[in-house]
Structures are given as C-alpha cells and as structure tokens.
C-alpha cells in the first residue's frame, strides 16, 4: 500500500476582484431585468382589468331592452291581444330583464296564439329554447324542426317551427311552436355557435309563439303563426330601427 503525499502551497495565487465598473454593469443588468418583469406583470394586470371592465360594461348594457316590450300593440291587424300572467318563479328562471306574455286571437277565424316576448343578457337567456323547456315539461317532439321564413319589407326572417305532444290517444295534446332570436342586427333561431362572441352579443330578444293544433292539421298552408308574425315583426323592427337596424341589403333587397 502506497501513500501519495500532498502539499499545500503556502502562497496561493491572489484572487483579483472584478473591476468596479464590471460589477456595476452586472448589478444594473439584474435591476433592468427585474424592472422589465415587473413592468410586464403590471401591463398584464392592467390589460386584464381593462378587459374585465369592458366585459362588465357590455353585460350591463345587455340588461337593458332596446325599448319597453310593453309598447308592442295589442291590436295587430285582425289580431287582438290581451295580457296573460306568468308565474313569477318561471319568469325569474328565464333570466329576462323585460318580459311580455299575451294571448292574441284572430277576429276572423278565432285562432288563438300565446305570445312570449323576452329580452335579457345573452348568458342568462340563451338556453331557454323549446327543445329544452318542452322536454323538461314532459313533452316529446312530434314534428320539426323546420325553418319558416317570414317576409318583412323584402327581408326573409327565419323562424324555427316544431310540434310537441304530451299524453296518449284521445287525451294527447299537440302544441306548435315558432321561435327566433334577434341579435347583432339579425334574426335567427340558431345561436349555438355564437357564444365565443359574447362580447359582441350583450343581449338577446326572443319571439316565441305557441298554439294548440290537431294531429292531422296542415301547418304549411294558412298557418296562423305565420300570419301573426307578418304583422308583429314590422312593429318590432320599427322600434328596433334606432338601436339595432337591419343591415343594408345589396342590389336593393337581395337576401343574405
């Protein structure tokens, strides 16, 4: 077994400190980087606060109906309407900030239609559709959905039409439903794909019609819902014109 002798240099080389100017530059660089990080954090926080404030402002705007829905006339052509009552709990569940429910009767034919007009913030009212509400009430879909276009001043306004049923045999009830939403200057029953743009859709106006029908009734000819919509929609558009005008159509009325 051998041992290796080690020795310690009694005079180790002197460690020469970095020049003062070099130390100053290093410390300054660290301070600059720290200041940059802090600035980025402050800017990011400021942007988030600004975005949150903007979203809140839009949501608050969406709580106010463009006009009081009560202004819609109770006399629409041959139709005469009277206000109906809705359970206050049901009204609250809709999320609407303005809500009108009426029964309109055609003085010529005696046809009766239940009308619901509601307006509210998009995030609170968008899911109140017949496809969900009727199913929850125990109804099953009998027909539809079909798209019916209502001509108003050379514009074709789309509405969704469905029929729901409840009960069996001679006790079965059949309800026809028409509905559509008004948002970003358009009418459409399709809003499922728009929720990534909530900031552009602060509020929704909904028109919902419902009436009892028979199992064998022809709904594609002389439909009372379509007849009522033809006199109702111009009244709505005339009141929305100042705040939510329909977009101009090219070539004097071409459809989109």
Residue 196 lies in a domain: yes
What's the whole-model pTM score? 0.69
Check residue 81 and give its pLDDT: 95
pLDDT given for residue 25 in this prediction: 60
Looking at residue 207, what is its pLDDT? Answer: 94
Claim to verify: residue 91 and residue 208 sit in the same structural domain: yes
Give the pLDDT means over successive 10-residue stretches in the chain (256 positions). 50 55 60 67 58 50 81 95 82 83 95 93 81 85 90 91 85 91 86 59 89 84 93 92 52 41
Asked if residue 18 belongs to a domain, the reply is no
35 and 159 inside one domain? no
Question: In this predicted structure, what is the pLDDT of residue 184?
Answer: 77
Residues 74 and 194 in one domain: yes
In a domain, 47, yes or no: yes
SS3 of the chain: the string is CCCCCCCCCCCCCCCCCCCHHHHHHHHHHHHHHHHHHHHHHHHHHHHHHHHHHHHHHHHHHCCCCCCCHHHCCCEECCEEEEECCCCHHHHHHCCCCEEEEEEEEECCCCCEEEEEEEEEEHHHHCCCCHHHHHHHCCCEEEEEEEEEEEEECCEEEEEEEEEEEECCHHHCEEEEEEEEEEECCEEECCCHHHHHHHHHCCEEEEEEEEEECCCCCCCCCCCHHHHHHHHHHHHHHHHHCCCCCCCCCHHHCCCC
Q: Please indicate, yes or no, if residue 14 is contained in any of the structural domains.
A: no
Are 49 and 138 found together in one domain?
no
Q: How distant is the alpha carbon of residue 244 from its chain centre?
A: 15
| Residue 135 within a domain | yes
Residues 51 and 168 in one domain: no
208 plus 91 within the same structural domain = yes
- Contact predicate 178/160, CB 8 Å: yes
Residue 75 shares a structural domain with residue 52: no
In a domain, 2, yes or no: no
Q: Does 80 lie in the same domain as 118?
A: yes
Range of the domain at 32: 24-61
Quick one: 88 and 105 in the same domain?
yes
For residues 207 and 130, the answer to whether their CB atoms sit within 8 Å is no
- The total number of structural domains in the chain stands at 2
User: Does residue 10 form part of some domain?
Assistant: no
Residue 194 domain flag: yes
Instruction: Judge if 90 and 196 occupy the same domain.
Output: yes
């Amino acid at each position: 077994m051998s041992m290796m002798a080690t020795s310690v240099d009694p005079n180790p080389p002197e460690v020469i400190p970095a020049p003062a100017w070099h130390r100053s530059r290093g410390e300054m660089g660290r301070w600059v980087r720290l200041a940059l990080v802090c600035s980025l954090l402050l800017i990011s926080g400021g942007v988030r606060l600004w975005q949150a404030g903007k979203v809140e402002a839009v949501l608050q705007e969406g709580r106010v109906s463009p006009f009081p829905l009560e202004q819609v006339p109770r006399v629409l052509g041959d139709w005469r309407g009277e206000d109906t009552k809705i359970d206050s709990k049901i009204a609250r569940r809709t999320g609407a900030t303005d809500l009108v429910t009426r029964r309109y009767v055609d003085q010529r034919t005696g046809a009766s239609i239940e009308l619901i007009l509601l307006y509210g913030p998009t995030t609170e009212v968008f899911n109140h559709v017949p496809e969900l509400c009727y199913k929850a009430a125990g109804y099953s879909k009998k027909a539809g959905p079909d798209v019916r276009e209502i001509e108003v001043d050379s514009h074709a306004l789309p509405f969704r039409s469905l029929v729901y049923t409840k009960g069996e045999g001679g006790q079965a009830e059949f309800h026809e439903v028409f509905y559509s939403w008004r948002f970003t200057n358009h009418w459409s029953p399709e809003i499922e794909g728009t929720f990534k743009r909530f900031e552009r859709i602060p509020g929704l106006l909904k028109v919902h019609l419902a009436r009892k029908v028979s199992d064998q009734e022809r709904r594609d000819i002389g439909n009372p819902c379509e007849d009522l919509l033809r006199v109702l929609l111009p009244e709505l558009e005339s009141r929305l014109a100042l705040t939510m005008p329909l977009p101009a159509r090219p070539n004097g009325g071409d459809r989109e």
